[in-house]
Structure 1
């Protein structure tokens, strides 16, 4: 009996260790968010340059999703996760030594994106596979919570360290190196969960959406695009808005506001399971539309309370729509096509993180940050409303 209890405890630690490694890796991708104003003050980076630096991360994510997506089935989960953590550590070291050199900073962001892209697919599956039997029903939520929770905790950690400790552009990354090495130890201690073929065949992930899935995929992808575009907005532009429009320069506060949308997303993913199945995606779209209203008003009226309220509501809607959309797509896709359809969905939502914020940077240089951010909020609301309209039109046919 004691040996059985010991085994259960060991399995639980391995499962939680994998979730921790997942969270730490994603944390490193958003940790620089509250540091962007410091980079601007220290090195004179423009808003457009900050958005390009941020978008370089999404390029790394998309490349990793497309190139390495199927590799963990051939090479095993552990080698891919170790490679992802190695990318995260090298990214931190590049940022640590960058000293304002743009090429090094961009290289660090691409590597950070590669680490996130590897973990997004592989770690999600690995966490579910490592779950103890009595935790299997909650394993999917733990995987998504580790993902979004890490994205939310990153700005909070970066904000705390930069507010209260010296040398924020160096120390912040060294702290994350320590966390990543601890995550590496967790993955190293975990067992392999898939049998590896004798002769691995590495291929690039095929992106496709079968015609019979498009009716489900299109509204889910539009809603996912809108939700992740808001997340990208808070990860890249929110620090500048808080300083230049709302008048707040406290790094911890900036990090907390930027991270709030991701924490709210976890709440949305948690409660979506309690909603009626057919209403989950529509309610996610409605909540997202409602959320962008106080975001736009907060920017217009220069109200931090409204801006934060909008982040929480929009984040909740993003979480509901994201998990509901993923579930609907997986249910509608043939088993043989499921990986390709899911990968296509992830590529779309990560494009949403990068391209819109580059557009914001370009527009802000021409018409001002405040006006641009309000226009962006309205566009996101319209996208979510379009997804809702498509769902309503599709309902009678379904």
Structure 2
């Protein structure tokens, strides 16, 4: 009898941990997607590519993310999570291989960044939906409804934080700075890939009976939900908008003020995303039962962080920048969790991945900020441009504050 009880307890522990296999895969893909960030400083210092070309690599990545999000989400709703999530780490590893080979070849680097984006898009929408569905009493008795959003956002943020931190340290002090970080990611992807096969499929019905066309799936009916349009949409671009102001724009402004510029860029990424990771652990408690508190708090912290970025642009100092990065990281973490939790609440079971993909695609529009600011820097100063961004964030706060109370 004691033996049988032990087996039952072991089975329960196994059930509670099935989401970890998916989370580790998402973590690995996110690692590869963001390890490029601190190396932006390295590529600028090498002088092989123009600043605009380097920032355009963020746009290539964002385009890849959009393709992965908007294509893989509906496909996984239709054919199952494993079939769409399994290739993601392999595509991420291939992207790293292209980037490592393209340190002096722009075409290879652009292909690599696009592939990295596609893999991240797949991981975010398919992996995030899979983690959400595994946070279900069928797999984990007594699990809270918001636990799926917390685990999904933390898996992404953990990879987004550690990837650039490790890559920056390696590029600053180890040989082959343009290749070694990417080789590490390739090894990590291949080692952890088999784990995804241990996670149970949560869309079995999709394999048995598929109705309608793929193009009908892409429409995602719940995207017309008023709360999604008027609360989630205004908040979403500031998720990565805040993050990339922190670890793509501020290190560029300060690179001549620090001795180890690549390592400092990695530190900023780690502080930013580490702050976001930390606050996401308390997301369910912050949100509570209120449908207004979370979105308003996320946008309020965003406004504060953007105002802080204006201060740093006007009074550049490495330590001040780190303080502002904490605030922008909190804005990222709150925006990611609150937006994802709202999205998962709004979505129906048949378009969960599709609507999640649309939410993430909207968050990644914030990645365009660095390229836009670099292009406009010929006409405006950074304090002016970041100040304008702060005003737009205030307007989004007002919209979210009004609509979240009514919808």
Shared fold per TM-score greater than 0.5: yes
Partner residue of 1:233? 245
Match runs of 1:169-180 below 5 Å: 169-180=178-189
Q: Tell me the alpha carbon deviations over residues 363-387 of structure 1, each in whole angstroms, 9 at most, x when there is no partner.
A: 23x157xx32x23432332222112
Match runs of 1:96-245 below 5 Å: 96-131=100-135, 132-134=139-141, 136-137=143-144, 138-195=147-204, 196-198=206-208, 203-204=214-215, 206-207=218-219, 213-214=225-226, 217-244=229-256
Selected match of 1:24 from 10, 24, 28: 28
Structure 2 residue 282 is the aligned partner of structure 1 residue 274: no
Structure 2 residue 351 is the aligned partner of structure 1 residue 358: no
Partner residue of 2:322? 308
Output the CA distance in 2 between the equivalents of 1:149 and 1:30. Answer: 11
Q: Please report how far the alpha carbon of residue 393 of structure 1 lies from its aligned counterpart in structure 2 after TM superposition.
A: 3.7
Q: Please report how far the alpha carbon of residue 34 of structure 1 lies from its aligned counterpart in structure 2 after TM superposition.
A: 1.4
- TM-score scaled to structure 2, two decimals? 0.86
Selected match of 1:257 from 262, 268, 272: 268
Corresponding residue pairs, total: 392
- TM-score scaled to structure 1, two decimals? 0.88
In structure 2, do the counterparts of structure 1 residues 35 and 2 end up closer, same or farther at CA, with 3 Å as the change threshold? Answer: same
Selected match of 2:360 from 346, 353, 362: 346
SS at match of 1:125: helix
Instruction: Check conservation: 1:14, 1:130, Cα contact below 8 A.
Output: yes
Q: Please report how far the alpha carbon of residue 337 of structure 1 lies from its aligned counterpart in structure 2 after TM superposition.
A: 6.5
Q: Tell me the alpha carbon deviations over residues 334-374 of structure 1, each in whole angstroms, 9 at most, x when there is no partner.
A: 666665544333222212222x222112123x157xx32x2
Output the CA distance in 2 between the equivalents of 1:224 and 1:133. Answer: 30
Greater Cα shift, 260-269 or 322-331: 322-331
SS at match of 1:166: coil
Output the CA distance in 1 between the equivalents of 2:140 and 2:222. Answer: 34
Gaps of 5+ in 2: none
Output the CA distance in 2 between the equivalents of 1:222 and 1:209. Answer: 19
Q: Tell me the alpha carbon deviations over residues 254-311 of structure 1, each in whole angstroms, 9 at most, x when there is no partner.
A: 1020232222222333334223512221121111111222222122211222211112
Instruction: Check conservation: 1:266, 1:319, Cα contact below 8 A.
Output: yes
Instruction: Check conservation: 2:305, 2:328, Cα contact below 8 A.
Output: yes
SS at match of 2:243: helix
Instruction: Check conservation: 1:268, 1:316, Cα contact below 8 A.
Output: yes
SS at match of 1:290: helix
Root-mean-square deviation over aligned CA pairs: 2.7
Gaps of 5+ in 1: none
Q: Tell me the alpha carbon deviations over residues 110-158 of structure 1, each in whole angstroms, 9 at most, x when there is no partner.
A: 0000100111111012223345515733343111100122112221011
Instruction: Check conservation: 1:26, 1:150, Cα contact below 8 A.
Output: yes
Q: Tell me the alpha carbon deviations over residues 42-72 of structure 1, each in whole angstroms, 9 at most, x when there is no partner.
A: 3522211111012101100101112221112
